[in-house]
Amino acid sequence: MGDEEVGQVGRGQVVESLESQAEYFEIDTLFDGEPVESEENGSDVFTRPGVNMPELALLRFVVLDDDYIGDDFIGQYSVAFECLQPGYRSVPLLGLAGDPLPHASLFVHVAVTNRRGGGKAQRRGLSVRRVGRRGREYVSLRHTGIKVVDEGFKPASGPLREATDLREDAQSATVSFKEQCGLPPVAKLKQCIESLASRLQSAEGSVGAVMVLKEGYPCLEPLHTLPEPTRKVLTAYDAMIAAQKQLIENADVVQERIAQVQREGMEFHEVLSRLGEKEGLKGRKQCKAVESFTWNITVLKGHCDLLRGAKVDSLDVLRQLALASEACGLTCSTSSSSTTSSSAVAELHHTSHQTAGRRGSSHGNGRI
């Protein structure tokens, strides 16, 4: 991170020696370590040990004046981790109230690597790590030191793993399908269906597969023998539909199990200090127990929201696939089949919007 010359508001001078800070905020991480600050070629380098859930992470830049009288604050800027773009960027600075500071910015270089520090920076919008379940990282709840509270949180470990698997399996399957279509992970599903439709088109003008609805899910059935590359694309499509189906049909049950643990955990909130005293926790240990309890409640609430949002996204994926298949002529040509297909597409569209309206709701507020 290199500091550009930043003018101090209301002081009428330019400061050449500044102190820069980078802070990360997220509700779900596997690493307890703080960001590491070092100096390289005259510039400050901030390294975060790991970000487990980039969807919920924020990066905040803060600029302070080393030679200050009274107030050392100069400017700040916060950005969602998912909105970070790799490479050299100019970060505009804002005041405490969010008002822009004229001609004040930071010149930074952003790089997102894998956990071991290698690999290329991830593309924008691709937060899913395509790894199998064996190499997948799961969030864990913290130990509070209060036996009855820890026993209450223990049943959540299984549902939390299931929620992570459902979300990441669906994301990974979707990315695989896009790559099989020869498109980047940020491509739209309509582009994928258009690419697939061109491959399924024969020289005579007939299509090699049609979209049929099986239990309400848009599936592609081949009409004749297809080339190996095209069969691989259809296999990736089937895997994506299976992953979306698994998420849609199990999300509510898993979410309710997590929400139940959250509600039961909130019952300890008012008596947490008294329970800690019974366990002999005092001072710093008591504060640590409260922090761990707050962390656990926040993680449970966050996973409920993520799973609810993932189900809404999966329903929208099905709607997009059905509409794109119909637009590309991959639906059945008979009138009765066409009527059934159109009705099912309309039903998917209606269901998706109905669920989206409930996306902001939650099971208990979980606030401390």
**Mean pLDDT, residues 265-275:** 88
Q: Please give the mean pLDDT across all residues of the chain.
A: 75
Q: Which domain holds residue 187?
A: 133-357
| Domain final position from 78, 110, 142 | 110
Mind listing the pLDDT tens digit for each residue in 165-222? 999 999 999 999 998 888 888 888 888 888 888 888 776 667 778 888 888 888 888 8
Task: Please indicate, yes or no, if residue 304 is contained in any of the structural domains.
Answer: yes
d(CA 324, CA 329): 9
Residue 358 has a pLDDT of 45
Per-residue pLDDT tens digits for 301-324: 999 999 999 999 999 999 989 888
**Residue in this structure with the two tokens 């064996």, named with its chain if needed:** 134
Note whether 199 and 318 are same-domain residues. yes
Most confident of 131-145, 263-277, 327-341: 263-277
Phi and psi dihedrals of 158, rounded to 5?
-65, -55
| 99 and 201 assigned to the same domain | no
Could you tell me which residues come within 8 angstroms of residue 339 by beta carbon, excluding any fewer than 6 positions away?
Answer: none
Mean pLDDT to the nearest integer, 3-9: 47
CA dihedral 161, 162, 167, 169 (to 10 degrees): 100
* Placement of tokens 């996973």 in the chain: 303
Contact in structure between 77 and 33 (CB atoms under 8 Å) = no
What's the pLDDT at 327?
86
Tell me the β-bridge partners of 108: 89
Q: Decide if 43 is inside a domain.
A: yes
* 264, 208: one domain: yes
The pLDDT value given to residue 55:
73
Residues 273 and 183 in one domain: yes
Q: Is the dihedral of CA 92, 96, 97, 102 positive or negative?
A: negative
78 vs 98: CA distance, rounded Å: 10
Cα separation, 296 vs 262, whole angstroms? 8
- In this predicted structure, the answer to whether residue 259 has a pLDDT above a threshold of 90 is yes
- Using a 10 angstrom Cβ sphere, with 0-12 exposed, 13-18 middle and 19 or more buried, the burial of residue 34 is exposed
**310 part of a folded domain:** yes
* Residue 131, pLDDT above cutoff 70: no
Q: 332 pLDDT band (50/70/90 cuts)?
A: low
Please report whether residue 368 resides in a domain: no
Please check whether residues 217 and 323 belong to one and the same domain: yes
Residue 61 sits in the same domain as residue 26: yes
Same domain, 159 and 287: yes
Domain count, the chain: 2
pLDDT at 155: 92
Last residue of a domain, one of 79, 110, 141: 110
pLDDT, position 32:
40
User: Does the pLDDT at position 1 exceed 90?
Assistant: no
Residue 363 lies in a domain: no
The verdict on 268 and 175 lying in the same domain is yes
257 and 319 inside one domain: yes
* Same domain membership, residue 246 and residue 164: yes
The CATH number given to whatever domain includes residue 42 is: 2.60.40.150
Check whether residue 174 and residue 256 sit in a common domain: yes
Q: What type of residue sits at position 304?
A: C
Check if the beta carbon of residue 119 is closer than 8 Å to that of residue 227: no
- Is residue 254 situated within a structural domain? yes
For 75-156, where are the alpha helices, taking DSSP H only? 147-153
The per-residue pLDDT for 220 is 86
Q: Are residues 183 and 264 in the same domain?
A: yes
Is residue 40 pLDDT above 50, yes or no?
Answer: yes
pLDDT of residue 281: 85
Residue 37 maps to a domain: yes
Average pLDDT of span 78-91: 85
In a domain, 123, yes or no: no
Q: Is the pLDDT of residue 8 over 50?
A: no
More confident residue, 53 or 294: 294
Residue of higher predicted confidence among 134 and 17: 134
Task: Supply the pLDDT for residue 111.
Answer: 82
| Cβ contact 148:275 at 8 Å | yes
Which of 47, 77, 110 marks a domain boundary? 110
Given a cut of 70, whether residue 13 has pLDDT beyond it is: no
